[in-house]
Every structure is written in structure tokens, then in C-alpha cells.
Amino acid sequence: MVAVADGVQATWQANGHAEPSGVGWPANSLVLAAVTLAAVLVLIEEIAPVPAPVRVPAGLLLSLAGPGFAGLLALRPRWLTPWTHVALSLPLSLSAAVLYAAVLDLTPGGFGGSRMPVGIAVLTLGLAAVSVESGNVVLPGAPAGRRLPQRVRPAAVVPVLLLAGWGSFAFAHAMQRNEAPRYSVLSAGDSLARSGSGTVFAVSVANHEGATRTYRINVIDRRADGARTTRRSLSFTLGNGDESTHRVSARCGRTTEIKLKSPGRHHVRRDLLLRPPCRGGRLR
Amino acid sequence: MSSTASPSRRVAVPVEVREALTTREVVVDLRPSTLLPALFCLGAALLISDYAWLPPAPANQVLFWAGILTCFAAVALAGLQERAVQRTHVLGLAALGAVLWIPYLLRSPAYPIFVDDLFHLQVLHEIAVRAHTDVPVTLYPIPGAFPGLEFCALAVHETTGLSLLTSGRIVALAVHVALPVLAYLLAWGIGLGRRSAFVAALVYMTNTSYYFFHSAFAYETLSILLVLATGAVLALSPRRGIGRKEAALLAVLVLATTATHHVSSYLLAVGLALTWLVTRLLRRPQRGLGAITALALVAPVAWLLLRAPHTQDYLSSAFSARIHGVVDTLTGEHGGGRRQLFGVSTVPRFEQFVDRAYPVVLAALAVAGLWGVHRSDRWRRNPLLAALAVLGPLAFLGLAPLVITPASDVVYRSWPFVFIGLAVYAAVGLATIVRRQPHVPWAAAGVLVALLLFCGISIGDNQAGRFPSPQPKFAAGPGATTEDVIAAAQWLEAEAGPLNVLAADSNTAAVFATYGSQRALGWGNWTPFILPTRAALSGYLRRSDIRYIVVDKRITTLPPRYGSYFGGGEPRERVYAPGRPFPRSRLKKFRTVPRLSLVYDNGDIQIYRAARSAGDGGRG
């Protein structure tokens, strides 16, 4: 039983939540100031453009933490510690966005225009005002909890910086890496003209093979009795990412085959079968 | 782990330097603990480098695990120290959560490929365009019915000006970072010591959904965050009564969960109701809990009836399908009970072998935790702890055997919720073992959790495969969402406009429904593919409103990712044998049907257009 008691004491907190209360957390006023500034910047954005390097971090801070952080500070439950405050800011901010947008969805204009960012910013400013008014914010310079230790640790900082630099380089490389397959596209797009006897199609060839390639197109008419006639043949070269479009007429009652070939190590063969319907609904 | 750190070796600093830096303490601290951030960065750099240069197997696997386990070791070594403070725990868990999100991003950095991502990003795009949630149905039946996730991404999008895709990914990343921190706060709020709560958070991260599924832009990703936050606030609230402040927070979280995900809100209501019941049984009522429980019970029902009535059919069919799976398992009908473990897994065989330890270790920890809590008698004074025993370890022990049945999907989907309680009890079990056996250090607990993390990642790995590859190993799965398929979908929308009815395999249908905004058949999409003759297909096309048939030719060479090419209902036994690809002969008939024109071919994807009625040449 003694062993169990030891285990219990190590496993559980001795006297409930022994952590200090969030009151007096010296950074909360700074974070609240940042959140407030972010809300103001988002409101300014509605009047005049704010540069992206400022708008993006401000918007992220506001949308992911603003209402939650200010709301918790306004309510300030007794169990609030700095880290519960930070951790709960995200779900509460997202919840506030969800509920606000759900209400907007019921209105005729929905969340069009600037209703979302303005609403979130105003809500955050309102909650920040309540938290200041209720005396829950420790202003800078006031006696507060202990400061975070500041130590210069070259032995740790140098490898961290080196590895972070390497990781950032690798990350940028990985984000640009493209493992997409190489491919060529043969397609029959919008019909350009239509008459009683047939349709003219825009047949396109697109090269996504990663290199310049030479293509050859054969247009073959096939009658109902199976007879085949090569009507047209042409060759052309396309650079990577280039596209070439050709007019091809297809007669109703027949099947027009369009065959695409490109020789090389990675041999390309594509084909289309065009069967334009005749007027009156006769298909062949 | 040793709890007594070795003394730091202070290096003499010249007096003038010391005087110049009066406000900072200059210490060249060479204790191992000071190098833990560097160790963490090393792990992250290894992991990212693996995805940046993609070395061939097995080097890619070695680098992957070296990176993840190095990061884990750094966080665990810091957090398991006896004197570790809350800041160390929170920052360590958040950093580990961020690192474990990176593989999801780098698997497909340019565009999303997982079907949940595709669906929610499409709904997000439609909502952003229309400014309302009444968006058209393309493939899945309930778009916009539970729009919480889309609202959050929209908030980020509109406040930052970032793209919708980036905004969605930022929301997913933020959630992934916060999940273990909230699990930690929940365990701490219940009354666990800081170190035990840290272990509980690490155990929570080992659930099979955390690594991949909760990295995705899916509504469960957000809802599990809200459920955990609700649990954390409840655990931190005074035992005797929930005050107005806590009630306000809980109400906001409960309502947001309701608007975000159906099943999560139901499970949250069940959890709260059970907690309320336990408080009554133990005669330790918590004032205000009844009102929050009532809200959690009423809100989803009201939402279902007023806001998303059409969801009832979707939920009932999904529920009945799962019940059928369980019944088939029990009765042995329709091949029930013959699920092959790792049947379509892409992870190496070594990992599959190790993964078998996962349920065993968790079950052992669950039992140890139950025993530890029972002996401590804490559950009598803490109704939430007692309720979590039922929702956590006992639920796990009851459900875990089902993973070897075709109903395994139900089990895996329940684990993120079950692990909330299981993690707490597993941490209690580990802490109890460590304290009762003085020769077992905390590091041993860390090693055991590392094993669980290995298994959790491996079992719940990216369904598209761990690393990017131009040639997928499976068809009809997220790995087959390659750039050429997306290009084909975009071509069709550009040429023929949106919302044309089309039939395709399940993954191609998802891509064309989302990237191409087409209306893809979700049921019966296999019919034109399995019809044996040209005449039968012609007759079918005349009767149906199908406008396009999209063929992914890879279904004739690659096995299906999820056991079927066209979805769970396809009559595969009539067409192809298990383990064999879809017969090529069934695709050849498309070329001979008079009503069909082949209008697009890029090697993998062919698009056939069906002629409508008289005089129709159609666009595209």
C-alpha cells in the first residue's frame, strides 16, 4: 500500500492546480496590444490597402487568436494560466468565427463583402475593451510575475541556427519539387462550326513532357462499313508547356479518328474518336 | 531518464565582456538539456531533407524515421525531466505537432490530393464565391451542412488575403499544433501531475488519426480540437460547479462543434451526458453541468432538423452501412470476418510487423491505468475521470478487437475520441509502473510511447503513400490524383462548363467533382463500366442523364486502394476477381458505342462524351 501511495503522489497533483493564476502574467498586456493592433490593421485594410508583410501576420494573429485571447482575458476564469490562455485562444477564436459566420449565413447578404474580417476585428476590440475595463490586464511596468530567463547559450544557439537554416533551405526545395508525371494531351475542344453534314472541331495538342517534342497527327475517316481513309497528316514541334490547335472537320454518320504520335524514349500515342450527330438525331 | 541533471560547466568569461553585457547572464552551458533544441532541429532538418531530395528506398524510410524519432526524443527528454515546467511541455508538444504535420504538406505541396481535402476545399471555394452555404452538390450529399471548418478558413482568408488553399492549410496546421497541447491541459486539469499529463499528451498523439487524418483539411480535424478544448475547460473548471465564465466558454465550444461535424457533436453530447450521470451516481454533482449537457444534446438535434435536414438520409445510410459491416462480420456473410490486416498498406513489411504490437501495448497500458486509478480511489472524487474510464480505456478494450473485421473503419474513426480518456489512463498506468519499479526510469516510458508513435504513424499513414511518386502503386485512391488527372478535370470544366453528370471510378470522380466542378455519380457509377456489351451500354446511356464517362486507364493495371474501384457498392464479383485489376476488355466497348465520342486523351485519362438528343453536338 505504501508503494501505491508513492505512485499516486507522483502521478497526481498534490494540491489541485498548484500553478500560479494568470493574473499578473506580464506578457498578456503585450499580447493583447498586439491583438488589438492586428484588429485595427484589419479594419484599416477595409479603407486603404495594407502591405502584405503586415497584413498577413496581423490577419493570422487576429483570426487564430484574437477573439479567444481577448475573450479569455475579459472573463479571466480562476484557473487561467499563461499557457492555458494561449492554448485555449485558438479553439475559442475559431469557435467565435464559426458562430459569427453561421449567424451571417442567415442574413440576406451572407458573409459577402467585408463582414467577416470587420466583425471579427470589432468583436476582438470589444472584448479587449472589456478586459481592460475590468482590470484584467497588467499594464507594462506594473509589478508582475517572474521574468522569463534570458541566457545566451552559444553552444545551443549556433547549431540551432545552422540546422534551422538547412531545414528552411530543404523546405523551400521540397515545396518546389514536382513529381508530376510527364504527359501529352490530345483533345477536341469547342466545336467551331456546325452544318448539316458535319462539325468542325478545335483539336489541340499540349506538351507537358518536360522537353521539346515532335508530334505527328493523322486524321482518318472511317465509314460505317469499316473502310478507312487518311484525310490529313501533319507534323509539328512543341516546346514544353506549349499548345497547338488545329481545325478538324468531322462528318456526321462517320467516325473521325485523330491519332497523335511522338517518337522517342518515352513514346507517345493518343487518339480521339469524333462522332458528330447528324441533324434529326441520326447518329451514324 | 535521470532526474538529476549534471552540473553545467561554466567557462570563464573575460571581465570586460561580462561588464559589457550587464543585463544578460552569459553562460556557456554544455549540459545535454541545452542541446535539446538543436537535437529537435536536427530531426526536423532530416525529415524535411528526406522530402526535399527523395532518396531511394530504404534510405528514404530511414531518414523519415530518424527525423521523427529524433524530434520525439528531444521533446521527450525535455518534458520528462522532473523539473520540467509547463512552458517546456507546451512548447515541446506544439513543436512536435508542427513537425508531424510537415510530411502531410510535403507529400503533395502543390495541390491537395486526399478526398476530404478536395471536398472541403471545393465547398470552401463555393462558399467564398456565393457568400452563403447553399452550395451545389457535386459528389458528396451534404456540402455546406456543417460549414464550421470552411468558416474558419474563410476568416483566415479574408483577414490575411492569402489564397483559400493556403488559408485552409494554415487552419489545419494550427489545429495540429494545438491538439497535443489541449490533451496535455485536459490531463493536467483532471489532476494528473505535469509530467504524467505530458505523457498523456504524447500518448494522445499516437492515435492513428493524428498523424495524417487530422493533418488534412477535414471537418473532423477542427471538431476534435473543439471537443478537446471542451474537455480541457471542463477539466479545469471547479469540481463543485461550473461558473458563468466557464459556462460561457463551454457553450461557445459546444455550439461551434455542432456547426462543424455531426458525429463529433453527438459523441461530445454522449460524453457530457455520461459525465453528468456519473456525477449523480457518485453523489458529487457539478452545478451547471446539466445545463451544458442539455445544450450539447439539444443543439445537434436542432441543427439537424432546422439547418441540415437532408443530412439525416446521409447519416442513416452511413450508419446502416457500418451496422451491416458489423453484422456481416458476426454472421460471416458477404465475406464478413475476412479482412486482411495491411491488405492495401503501402508501409514496409518491417513496420507492419512492429505495428502488431500497437493494440497490445495500448491494452496493457489501459489495464494498468484502470488498476492505478482504481487503487488510488481518485475516481470517486472526480466524476470526469470516472466517465473517461468508460469513454477511454474500457471503450478501447471493447472496440479494439473489431480492427480485424470489415467494420474496422468504425474503430479507427472512434479512436481520436477514445484516446482522450485512454491517454489519461495510459499515462497513469505508466506513471504508476515507473514509481512502483524504481529500476524503471521515465526514459523507459518515453521509449514505450515512441513505439506507440511509430505504430500510430505507420498504421494511420498517408493514404496516398508516404512519399510523392509520379507512378502510383494503387488506382482509385488519393495516390492516383496526379497532375494530369487534375488537368483533365480542369479541361472539362473549361470546355463543357460545370455540373455535367459523369461516371468514373471513385477517385477520378472526386477529382472531377472538385477540380472540375462536375456532378459525379456517387452510386451506380460502375454501371457503364461493367456492362458487358456495346448494345447494353447504348441502351443504358439512352435512359440515363450521363453526359461524360471518364476512364482512368490505370484501373486496368493497378489494384484499387480501398478494395474497390468504384465504391463500396460495386458488384466486383461479376467483373473481376479479388487481386486482379479491372479487365481491359470492359473499357474497349466505349470505343465502339455510336453515342460516345472520345474527346480527350492524356495517356492516363480518357474522356468520352455521350451525344444527347437530336441535333446535339454539344460544347466540348
Mutate: best of B22, B47, B158, B166, partner A, most A CBs <10 A = B158
591-610 in B: which are within 8 Å (CB) of A? Answer: 591, 594-604
CB contact under 8 A, B34 and A167: no
Residues B489 and B518 sit within 8 Å (Cβ to Cβ): yes
Digit-coded pLDDT (tens) for A212-255: 999 999 999 887 777 788 778 899 999 999 999 999 888 887 88
Look over chain B and give the mean of its residue pLDDT values, rounded to a whole number. 88
pLDDT in the model for residue A278:
73
Q: Which residues of A touch B249 (CB under 8 A)?
A: 71-72, 75, 77, 88, 92
pLDDT in the model for residue B619:
40
Q: What integer is the mean pLDDT of B591-606?
A: 93
Determine contact: A202 vs chain B, CB below 8 A: no
Single-letter amino acid, residue B377: D
Q: Is residue A154 scored above 70 in pLDDT?
A: no
Digit-coded pLDDT (tens) for B105-151: 999 999 999 999 999 999 999 999 999 998 888 888 788 899 999 99
Q: What integer is the mean pLDDT of B432-453?
A: 89
Cell of B388: 473517461
Instruction: Give, in order, the Cα–Cα distances in Å from A170 to each of A175, B49, B120, B170.
Output: 9, 5, 29, 20
**Residue bearing cell 487534375:** B486
Digit-coded pLDDT (tens) for B537-554: 999 999 999 999 999 999
Least confident of A114-118, B4-8, B564-568: B4-8
Q: Is residue A151 scored above 70 in pLDDT?
A: no
Least confident of A163-177, B398-412, B496-510: B398-412
In angstroms, the separation between the Cα of residue B367 and the nearest Cα of chain A is 16
CB contact under 8 A, A280 and B615: yes
Cell of A118: 470587420
Single-letter amino acid, residue B425: Y
Q: Is residue B332 scored above 50 in pLDDT?
A: yes
**Residue bearing cell 478501447:** B396
Q: Best-predicted range by mean pLDDT among B23-32, B43-52, B82-91?
A: B43-52
Determine contact: A223 vs chain B, CB below 8 A: no
Residues B552 and B566 sit within 8 Å (Cβ to Cβ): no
Q: What are all long-range contacts of B161-167, with beta carbons under 8 Å and residues at least 24 apart? A: B161/A45, B161/A52, B161/A55, B161/A56, B161/A59, B162/A56, B162/A59, B164/B121, B164/B124, B164/B125, B164/B128, B165/B111, B165/B112, B165/B121
pLDDT in the model for residue A219:
93
Digit-coded pLDDT (tens) for B343-379: 677 888 999 999 999 999 999 999 999 999 998 888 8
- Give a three-class secondary structure readout of B196-216: HHHHHHHHHHCCCCCCCHHHC
Look over chain A and give the mean of its residue pLDDT values, rounded to a whole number. 83
3-state secondary structure of B2: coil
Residue B26 DSSP symbol: E
Closest alpha carbon within chain B to A268: B603
Residues A96 and A70 sit within 8 Å (Cβ to Cβ): no
Determine contact: B619 vs chain A, CB below 8 A: yes
Determine contact: B85 vs chain A, CB below 8 A: no
Digit-coded pLDDT (tens) for A35-88: 999 999 999 999 999 999 999 999 999 999 999 999 999 998 989 888 999 999
CB contact under 8 A, A79 and B491: no
Q: Which residues of A touch B601 (CB under 8 A)?
A: 185-187, 270-272
**Strand-pair category, B25-26 with A268-274:** unpaired
Q: Phi/psi class of residue A136: alpha, beta or left (left: φ > 0; alpha: ψ in -120 to 50)?
A: alpha
Residue B531 DSSP symbol: -
Nearest alpha-carbon partner for B495 in B535, B421, B548: B548
The Cα B39–Cα A160 span in angstroms is 8
**Residue B519, H or E segment:** strand B519-520
Q: What integer is the mean pLDDT of B507-518?
A: 94
B397 burial (CB, 10 Å; 0-12 / 13-18 / 19+) is: middle
CB contact under 8 A, A163 and B237: no
pLDDT in the model for residue A249:
87
Phi, psi of B135 (to 5 degrees): -105, 155
Selected residue with higher pLDDT from B30 and A278: A278
Angle at A110 between CA A107 and CA A114, to 5 degrees: 125
Residues B410 and B322 sit within 8 Å (Cβ to Cβ): yes
Q: Is the dihedral of CA A234, A236, A240, A242 positive or negative?
A: negative
The Cα A259–Cα B225 span in angstroms is 54
At a CB cut-off of 8 Å and minimum separation 6, what does B42 contact?
Answer: A159, A163, B70
pLDDT in the model for residue B153:
97
Q: What integer is the mean pLDDT of B571-593?
A: 84
Selected residue with higher pLDDT from A201 and A2: A201
Q: Which residues of B touch A84 (CB under 8 A)?
A: 185, 232, 236
Q: What integer is the mean pLDDT of B469-498?
A: 92
Residues B138 and B514 sit within 8 Å (Cβ to Cβ): yes
pLDDT in the model for residue A266:
81
Residue among B194, B252, B599 minimizing CB distance to A272: B599
Nearest alpha-carbon partner for B611 in A219, A274, A190, A186: A274
CB contact under 8 A, A3 and B436: yes
pLDDT in the model for residue A6:
39
Instruction: Give, in order, the Cα–Cα distances in Å from A217 to each of A61, A107, A188, A270.
Output: 56, 56, 13, 10
Residues B39 and B424 sit within 8 Å (Cβ to Cβ): no
The Cα B399–Cα B408 span in angstroms is 9
pLDDT in the model for residue B17:
43
Single-letter amino acid, residue B208: T
pLDDT in the model for residue B522:
82
Residues B522 and B141 sit within 8 Å (Cβ to Cβ): yes
Phi, psi of B381 (to 5 degrees): -95, -10
Q: Is the dihedral of CA B431, B436, B441, B447 positive or negative?
A: negative
pLDDT in the model for residue A280:
52
- Complex prediction ipTM: 0.90
Q: Is residue B19 scored above 60 in pLDDT?
A: no
Q: Phi/psi class of residue B380: alpha, beta or left (left: φ > 0; alpha: ψ in -120 to 50)?
A: alpha
Residues A271 and B601 sit within 8 Å (Cβ to Cβ): yes
The Cα B69–Cα B204 span in angstroms is 16
Cell of B599: 474527346
Residues B67 and B85 sit within 8 Å (Cβ to Cβ): no
Q: Is residue A145 scored above 90 in pLDDT?
A: no
pLDDT in the model for residue B39:
94
pLDDT in the model for residue B250:
97
**Residue B416, H or E segment:** helix B408-436
Digit-coded pLDDT (tens) for A189-210: 866 666 666 788 899 999 999 8
Q: Which residues of B touch A280 (CB under 8 A)?
A: 614-615
pLDDT in the model for residue B21:
41
Digit-coded pLDDT (tens) for B29-80: 556 667 899 999 999 999 999 999 999 989 999 999 999 999 999 999 999 9
Mutate: best of B28, B159, B597, partner A, most A CBs <10 A = B159
Selected residue with higher pLDDT from A150 and B612: B612
Residues B43 and B63 sit within 8 Å (Cβ to Cβ): no
- Give a three-class secondary structure readout of chain A: CHHHHHHHHHHECCCCCCCCCCCCCCCHHHHHHHHHHHHHHHHHHCCCCCCHHHHHHHHHHHHHHHHHHHHHHHHCCCCCCHHHHHHHHHHHHHHHHHHHHHHHHCCCCCCCCCHHHHHHHHHHHHHHHHHHHCCCCCCCCCCCCCCCCCEECHHHHHHHHHHHHHHHHHHHHHHHCCCCCCEEEEEEEEEEEECCCEEEEEEEEEEECCCCEEEEEEEEEECCCCCEEEEEEEEEEECCCCEEEEEEEEECCCEEEEEEEECCCCCEEEEEEECCCCCCCCCC
Q: Which residues of A touch B255 (CB under 8 A)?
A: 95, 99
Q: Which residues of A touch B28 (CB under 8 A)?
A: 153-155
Q: Phi/psi class of residue B476: alpha, beta or left (left: φ > 0; alpha: ψ in -120 to 50)?
A: left
pLDDT in the model for residue B595:
86
3-state secondary structure of B549: strand
Nearest alpha-carbon partner for B2 in B82, B90, B100: B82
Q: What integer is the mean pLDDT of A5-12?
A: 50
Digit-coded pLDDT (tens) for B146-176: 999 999 999 999 999 999 999 999 999 999 9
pLDDT in the model for residue B31:
61
The Cα B336–Cα B217 span in angstroms is 32
**Residue B265, H or E segment:** helix B262-281
Determine contact: B189 vs chain A, CB below 8 A: yes
108-127 in A: which are within 8 Å (CB) of B? Answer: 109-114, 116-117, 120-121
HSE at residue A273, side-chain half, CA atoms within 13 A, is: 22
Single-letter amino acid, residue B14: P
Digit-coded pLDDT (tens) for B276-305: 999 999 999 899 999 999 999 999 999 999
pLDDT band, residue B411 (cuts 50/70/90):
confident
pLDDT in the model for residue A30:
87
| Residues listed for chain A | 284
Q: Is residue B515 scored above 70 in pLDDT?
A: yes
Q: Which residues of B touch A181 (CB under 8 A)?
A: 470-471, 482-484, 603-604
The Cα A170–Cα A163 span in angstroms is 10
In angstroms, the separation between the Cα of residue B575 and the nearest Cα of chain A is 26
